């Protein structure tokens, strides 16, 4: 393997172990054994476990050093924003987010482990990624409030309600209700319903009528 290929192998192995055993419960010796390399090789690429954890976040949340948010490269979403298509905006945000959750379950588990263990990775992810999600969605809501389409409320409350629906749905499917016993629906169906629920709650009365 090349140096880059070896580094990627160690990263993927670390994600798998961290997602199953947590940050505190995983040693670099275990990562090395699972990756089929020496512990010295792990430290050659990552001086500390913290460096390894940070590299995982960068690799999962970024492409070429740039954070990938649900609206980047999402032509349908950007078109909906430009046209002030409220349903299209919230539908496409929800669909992109939930698809990403289900495409990389180990990373989702790793993030929750880091929060439960109060590791700085959780705070870093919130500050660098989640805060920007609030800014983007909140900014759109604020603009639509100026248009009179959305009633007066703190946009952050609406964002938290919307993000809460998406996260809770994904967590149920990933962790608690893997067989979809309680509720079985596609991400497309969930996105459409969550968008309607939110809009029915925040649209101004004039628009609702």
| Full set of structural domains in the chain with CATH | 3-63 (1.10.10.60), 69-208 (1.10.357.10)
Confidence category of residue 40, pLDDT binned at 50, 70, 90: very high
CB 95 within 8 A of CB 191: yes
CB 77 within 8 A of CB 92: yes
Beta bridge partners of 67: 62
pTM for the complete prediction?
0.78
Confidence category of residue 70, pLDDT binned at 50, 70, 90: low
- Check pLDDT > 60 for residue 64: no
pLDDT for the residue numbered 72: 63
Looking at residue 62, the DSSP 8-state letter turns out to be: E
How far from 98 is each of 14, 43, 171, CA to CA, in Å?
Answer: 23, 34, 10
Residue 202 sits at the vertex; the CA angle it makes with 83 and 123, to the nearest 5 degrees, is: 90
CB 77 within 8 A of CB 89: yes
Distance CA 3, CA 157 (A): 46
Map tokens 């792990």 to a residue: 42
Confidence category of residue 207, pLDDT binned at 50, 70, 90: low
Distance CA 98, CA 117 (A): 24
Alpha-carbon Rg for the chain in angstroms: 20
CB 39 within 8 A of CB 80: no
CB 5 within 8 A of CB 47: no
- Check pLDDT > 50 for residue 185: yes
CB 9 within 8 A of CB 17: no
Give the number of other Cβ atoms within 10 Å of residue 78's Cβ: 14
Confidence category of residue 63, pLDDT binned at 50, 70, 90: very low
Provide the mean pLDDT of the chain.
86
Which of 13-17, 80-84, 159-163 is predicted with the least confidence, judged by mean pLDDT?
Answer: 13-17
Give the number of other Cβ atoms within 10 Å of residue 47's Cβ: 10
In the numeric block, which tokens belong to residue 118? 């109060």
């Amino acid at each position: 393997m090349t140096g880059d290929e070896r580094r990627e192998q160690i990263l993927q192995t670390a994600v798998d172990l961290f997602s199953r055993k947590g940050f505190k419960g995983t040693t670099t010796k275990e990562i090395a054994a699972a990756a089929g390399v020496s512990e010295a090789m792990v430290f050659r690429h990552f001086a500390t476990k913290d460096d390894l954890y940070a590299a995982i976040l960068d690799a999962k949340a970024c492409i070429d050093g740039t954070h990938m948010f649900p609206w980047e490269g999402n032509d349908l979403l950007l078109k909906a924003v430009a046209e002030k298509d409220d349903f299209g905006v919230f539908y496409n945000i929800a669909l992109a987010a939930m698809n990403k959750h289900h495409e990389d379950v180990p990373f989702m588990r790793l993030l929750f482990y880091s929060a439960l263990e109060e590791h700085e990775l959780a705070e870093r992810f919130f500050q660098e990624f989640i805060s920007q999600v609030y800014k983007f969605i909140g900014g759109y809501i604020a603009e639509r409030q100026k248009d009179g389409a959305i009633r007066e409320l703190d946009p952050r409350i609406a964002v938290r309600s919307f993000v809460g629906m998406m996260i809770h749905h994904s967590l149920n499917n990933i962790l608690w209700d893997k067989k979809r016993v309680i509720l079985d629906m596609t991400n497309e169906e969930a996105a459409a319903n969550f968008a309607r629920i939110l809009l029915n709650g925040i649209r101004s009365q004039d628009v609702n009528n």
